[in-house]
Amino acid sequence: MFAAALLAAALSSLQPAGWDRDLKLAEAVDLNPDPHIVEINLDARVAHVEIAPGIGADAWTYDGGIPGPLIRVHVGDRLIVHFTNHLPQPTTVHWHGVRVPIQMDGVPDVSQPAVPTGGTFTYDFVVPDAGLYWYHPHVMSAAQVGFGLYGALLVEDPDEQVGVADETVLVLSDIGIDEHGKLEPPDSGGSTGMAFGREGNYQLVNGRLRPRLAVRSGAPQRWRIVNAARSRFFQLDLDGQTITRIGGDGGLIEHPLALQTLVLAPGERADVILAPRGAPGSEFSVVSFLFNRGYGSTEFRMADSLFTLAFDEAPAYAGPPLPVTHRVIQAISTVGATAVNIDFTLVQRADHNFEYGINGVPFATGHPVTAMPGETQVWTITNKTKWSHPFHLHGFFVQVLDENGQPVHPLEWKDTVNVPLEQTVRLVVRYDDRAGSWMFHCHILDHADGGLMGMVDVGVSPVDHSEHAH
């Protein structure tokens, strides 16, 4: 009784009323009365969006907004999405990080035919793991994501107690809009633009330019963050105030990590708790520091304010310390694992255009990695290029190993892992029985389209994937 009362007290809001109104995401409407089924409509269409008063463009959107609607489900729920494509181009929806059956993975010609203009497709799968995931197209990904097609999928576990009532989902991205309100062409800068990875000129938080969050000094809040940018890394900094990371791509991590800055590569997620402090009535900028992801990423550029924390007039909150989250995660055993060695490469072809590849071969001509259901593989990925590449594997979580092949703590389930320029990263993955051809690629989507992409055939006889467009 007493414990329950304490818990209830701990879980009432500590923030000013409407604290996240300025950046709150629209939510998808569940049309199904069954408490274990979330059934929604999702419509991709061109729509005029404003990122700030007077700044906008005809963007590519899900349901008319950037980002698309937040989809909220409980772990174990069945999610049914009636998708319609009203874009001028074929598209698909990929459920980034979710362990779906291959038929629901959204890869054109592997999982499904691309959905043509005016066409529909129903995605229907069970959501097996709690955490923050996201959805985006897998056709012309760099262009379509760059134009605004992305949204968050929050899979909640009602039994998960982190002791913080105030929670908000932050979709970080960017968009290129010129002074006439036109979207930046997807091929701007040609092959050099591709080699770098195109970044938009406006950084967005939930589709807004520098929105504000009304907060009470010292009061804890939980941010569920996804980096949905096509190429940009974010490096969040609150003037050195502690950011406690409790979760990552695939839900809670083994134990919390106290950070000064939080780096998110494209595709990555973080679950963090903060209790920012500031003088009542003052304002504070959350800045994204430039992150060195390779040549051209920090030179002659300025760090930008992402959003503003506006402290209300209430005196600083002083509450009891928060519970420390723990999650038991089993390290995947590497005993008997198959070794897979991959190099990320960049060459300049005879026509002077740049071309990324896996082991020197671009996706279109590459051979798949093969695996059996139940097999464990240790991937050693060496980045031989001058730019960092966030490696993303579809369908399965990986764990990161250190240079001696030992698990890195805190243990966590990842689907997107940055491979820094000219460095090597080791990962372990255990496939289950979801047979199929699963993609892996750099989540700088220009790099993926530029060749940095491959396939893992799990339990299927090798086939020629060369016709499969991204």
Contact of residue 392 among ligand C2O, Cu ion, none (CB under 5-8 Å per partner type): ligand C2O
**β pairing state of 131-136 and 94-96:** antiparallel
Question: What is the nearest approach in angstroms of Cu ion to the Cβ of residue 391?
Answer: 8
Query: Which CB atom, from 216 or from 470, has the smaller least distance to ligand C2O?
Result: 470
- The residue behind tokens 């009602």 is 158
Query: Which CB atom, from 30 or from 249, has the smaller least distance to ligand C2O?
Result: 249
Query: Which CB atom, from 168 or from 191, has the smaller least distance to Cu ion?
Result: 191
Kindly give, in sequence order, each residue whose CB lies less than 8 Å from that of residue 101, ignoring residues fewer than 6 positions away.
125, 434, 436
- The residue behind tokens 């997107």 is 416
Contact of residue 94 among Cu ion, ligand C2O, none (CB under 5-8 Å per partner type): ligand C2O
Cα separation, 112 vs 247, in Å, equals: 32
Contact of residue 441 among ligand C2O, Cu ion, none (CB under 5-8 Å per partner type): ligand C2O
Question: What is the nearest approach in angstroms of Cu ion to the Cβ of residue 266?
Answer: 9
Instruction: Tell me how far the alpha carbon of residue 285 is from its chain's centroid.
Output: 23
Question: What is the nearest approach in angstroms of Cu ion to the Cβ of residue 442?
Answer: 3
Q: Using alpha carbons, select from 262, 176, 159, 280 the residue that is nearest to residue 218.
A: 280
Joined together, the tokens standing for residue 97 give 């990080």
Question: What is the nearest approach in angstroms of ligand C2O to the Cβ of residue 275?
Answer: 31
Question: What is the nearest approach in angstroms of ligand C2O to the Cβ of residue 389?
Answer: 13
Cα separation, 231 vs 444, in Å, equals: 4
Question: What is the nearest approach in angstroms of Cu ion to the Cβ of residue 350?
Answer: 23
- The residue behind tokens 């070794």 is 339
Question: What is the nearest approach in angstroms of ligand C2O to the Cβ of residue 254?
Answer: 24
Query: Which CB atom, from 16 or from 366, has the smaller least distance to Cu ion?
Result: 366
Query: Which CB atom, from 16 or from 451, has the smaller least distance to Cu ion?
Result: 451
Contact of residue 267 among Cu ion, ligand C2O, none (CB under 5-8 Å per partner type): ligand C2O
356: enclosing H helix or E strand: strand 354-358
Joined together, the tokens standing for residue 425 give 């990263």
Kindly give, in sequence order, each residue whose CB lies less than 8 Å from that of residue 159, ignoring residues fewer than 6 positions away.
none
Contact of residue 389 among Cu ion, ligand C2O, none (CB under 5-8 Å per partner type): Cu ion
Query: Which CB atom, from 111 or from 217, has the smaller least distance to ligand C2O?
Result: 111
Q: Using alpha carbons, select from 369, 437, 414 the residue that is nearest to residue 97.
A: 414
Q: Using alpha carbons, select from 77, 74, 76, 135 the residue that is nearest to residue 104.
A: 135
Quick check: 290 and 303 in contact, CB under 8 A?
Answer: yes
Query: Which CB atom, from 30 or from 412, has the smaller least distance to ligand C2O?
Result: 412
Contact of residue 447 among Cu ion, ligand C2O, none (CB under 5-8 Å per partner type): Cu ion
Cα separation, 408 vs 163, in Å, equals: 26
Question: What is the nearest approach in angstroms of ligand C2O to the Cβ of residue 308?
Answer: 29
Query: Which CB atom, from 222 or from 392, has the smaller least distance to ligand C2O?
Result: 392
Question: What is the nearest approach in angstroms of ligand C2O to the Cβ of residue 414?
Answer: 13
Q: Give the binding site for ligand C2O (CB under 6 A).
A: 94, 96, 136, 138, 267, 392, 394, 439, 441, 443
Question: What is the nearest approach in angstroms of Cu ion to the Cβ of residue 263?
Answer: 15
Kindly give, in sequence order, each residue whose CB lies less than 8 Å from that of residue 40, ignoring residues fewer than 6 positions away.
28, 29, 30, 31, 69, 71, 79, 80, 81, 82
Contact of residue 40 among ligand C2O, Cu ion, none (CB under 5-8 Å per partner type): none
Query: Which CB atom, from 138 or from 389, has the smaller least distance to Cu ion?
Result: 389
Contact of residue 444 among Cu ion, ligand C2O, none (CB under 5-8 Å per partner type): Cu ion
Cis peptide before 280 (omega within 30 of 0): no
Q: Using alpha carbons, select from 74, 127, 61, 75 the residue that is nearest to residue 96.
A: 127
Tell me the C-alpha to C-alpha distance, in Å, between residue 235 and each of 94, 177, 274, 288: 25, 22, 15, 5
DSSP state of 206: T
Kindly give, in sequence order, each residue whose CB lies less than 8 Å from that of residue 147, ignoring residues fewer than 6 positions away.
59, 60, 175, 183, 186
Contact of residue 394 among ligand C2O, Cu ion, none (CB under 5-8 Å per partner type): ligand C2O
Q: Give the binding site for Cu ion (CB under 5 A).
A: 389, 442, 444, 447
Question: What is the nearest approach in angstroms of ligand C2O to the Cβ of residue 445?
Answer: 8
Contact of residue 430 among ligand C2O, Cu ion, none (CB under 5-8 Å per partner type): none
Query: Which CB atom, from 100 or from 265, has the smaller least distance to Cu ion?
Result: 265
- Measured in residues, the chain has a length of 470
156: enclosing H helix or E strand: strand 151-156
Query: Which CB atom, from 225 or from 444, has the smaller least distance to Cu ion?
Result: 444
Joined together, the tokens standing for residue 25 give 């995401």
Contact of residue 442 among Cu ion, ligand C2O, none (CB under 5-8 Å per partner type): Cu ion
Residue nearest to ligand C2O (CB): 96
- The residue behind tokens 């001058």 is 386
- List phi, psi (to 5°) of 144: -70, -40
